[in-house]
Amino acid sequence: MSLIFRMEDSPLGSVEIVLVGTLQSGNVGSVARAMKNMGLVNLKLAGLQCTLDEQARWMAPHAGDILDSARVYAGLREALAGAQYVIGTTARDRRFRTLMTPAQMAEKVLSLVPANRVAIVFGREDSGLTNDELELCDEAVTIPAAPAMSSLNVAQAVMIVAYELFCRAESWGPAAGAGRLASSGEQQDMYDHLRTLLVGIGFLNPHNPDIALGKIKRLLTRAGLTAKDVRLIRGVVRQLQWYVDSTRGPER
Ligand code: SAH
């Protein structure tokens, strides 16, 4: 079977590579090249810390179109608003998460496309993704590497992830019943709403609400929320908020 398919037929058209806070323009160029090699086309740059100069072009021969069409965002949340499923990448073991391997990640991604847009997020060269940024992700993936040096160059990490996707995309067929999930924007708005309610009734610690909220997020992520599910939960939250406000009376 051929590994070459036409881009318009490729399930990888629904996959976005998102770079956060990249410091070196050469790395953005290398990412564009890796993407082009592996049949990915959508690049998003959130909070970019460099300009796409000669160095970026030099590292991206024949991949200038990916740099030209890259979309730029102030922050990660804005960059993710249109994605239905978000996967973070991290070299470090974040205790509170189950980390996927790149192979598991590729299987998951190909079960979600093309009904869903999937964003895969890569962090800064020096400090990676913050915990808050990882909280915007539905799942996280770690590339196995030698414990003495487990942190890869960001473009090499993109290459490994993209390669896994490319190899599986060849034998891909639309998964039966893979429905469209709620977008990241819809989900984050719902979690903001839920956070306000749960802090208000004393369920979440106002000084550190996101640890317990993260556990709720992971539970709901496992359910695979659709836009309709999100509307249902928001309806429940709205009604609870109304009930709390009306029984509590005006604040004194
Ligand atoms: N010191 C940082 C590493 C930054 S490397 C840290 O510990 O997180 C820059 C980016 O490359 C990371 O944010 C991640 O997106 C990706 N990356 C590097 N090594 C990786 C690995 N072993 N698994 C998954 N992603 C990795």
The pLDDT value recorded for residue 9 is: 63
78 domain-assigned? yes
2 domain-assigned? no
The verdict on the CB of residue 128 being under 6 Å from ligand 1 is yes
176 domain-assigned? no
When comparing pLDDT for 18 and 171, which is higher? 18
Number of folded domains in the chain?
A: 2
Q: What is the mean pLDDT of residues 171-179?
A: 67
CATH at residue 198: 1.10.8.590
23/87 same-domain check = yes
178 domain-assigned? no
148/239 same-domain check = no
Residue 172 predicted with pLDDT over 80 = no
CATH at residue 68: 3.40.1280.10
The pLDDT value recorded for residue 95 is: 61
123 domain-assigned? yes
The pLDDT value recorded for residue 178 is: 64
102/137 same-domain check = yes
Domain that holds residue 121: 9-169
Q: How far is the CA of 19 from the centre of ligand 1 (A)?
A: 11
Residue 3 predicted with pLDDT over 80 = no
For residue 147, say if its preceding peptide bond is cis, omega within 30 degrees of 0: no
Ligand 1 atom nearest to 150, measured from its CA: 22
Q: How far is the CA of 249 from the centre of ligand 1 (A)?
A: 50
As a dihedral over the C-alpha atoms of residue 192, residue 195, residue 197, residue 199, rounded to 10 degrees, the angle is: -140
Q: Quick: pLDDT tens for 81-140.
A: 999 999 999 998 766 577 999 999 999 999 999 999 999 999 999 999 999 999 999 999
CA dist., res. 161 & res. 91, Å (int): 13
Q: Quick: pLDDT tens for 180-229.
A: 899 999 999 999 999 999 999 999 999 999 989 999 998 998 888 988 99
- Of 69-73, 101-105, 203-207, 246-250, the one with minimum mean pLDDT is 246-250
- Of 33-37, 58-62, 113-117, the one with minimum mean pLDDT is 113-117
Q: Which two tokens stand for residue 188?
A: 């984050």
Residue 243's φ and ψ, nearest 5 degrees, are -65, -45
Alpha-carbon 156 to chain mean position: 18
Q: What is the mean pLDDT of the chain?
A: 91
pTM reported for the whole predicted model: 0.83
Q: How far is the CA of 152 from the centre of ligand 1 (A)?
A: 6
